Amino acid sequence: MKVWKNWSGRPRRSSENERELVTTIFGLDYSKSYVVRVRYEFSGGHGPGEWSSPSASITTISHVDAMHHRIVQPRTQRG
């Protein structure tokens, strides 16, 4: 598993979570492709159609792993 701070790709909104974007990136590791899921947090200063800055670096897994495992970030409870 690798973490990339710089990447290229076309993110789309996740169908499972409105706070997540999903994309496939290419060529970062010997032309292999990865499926990534990026979690964005909304803040009070942003409108409903705007994304805030990402909450963490982008974590990638291999395409083969993506087909066998669900990429789900653990949800934290905020009280």
**13 in a domain, yes or no?**
yes
Q: Is residue 78 part of a domain?
A: no
pLDDT at 1 over 50: no
Residue 70: pLDDT band with limits 50, 70, 90: very low
Indicate whether 26 belongs to any domain: yes
Look at residue 75 and tell me if it is in a domain. Answer: no
Using a 10 angstrom Cβ sphere, with 0-12 exposed, 13-18 middle and 19 or more buried, the burial of residue 32 is middle
Q: Which domain holds residue 12?
A: 2-68
State the average pLDDT over residues 64-70: 49
**Strand ranges (DSSP E) for the chain?**
2-4, 12-13, 20-29, 32-39, 58-62
- Residue 73 counted as domain residue: no
pLDDT of residue 69: 45
Render pLDDT for 4-58 as a digit per residue (tens, 0 to 9): 555 555 666 767 666 666 665 554 555 555 555 555 554 555 445 444 444 445 5
Number of domains the chain contains: 1
Domain-embedded: residue 56: yes
Residue 25 resides in a domain:
yes
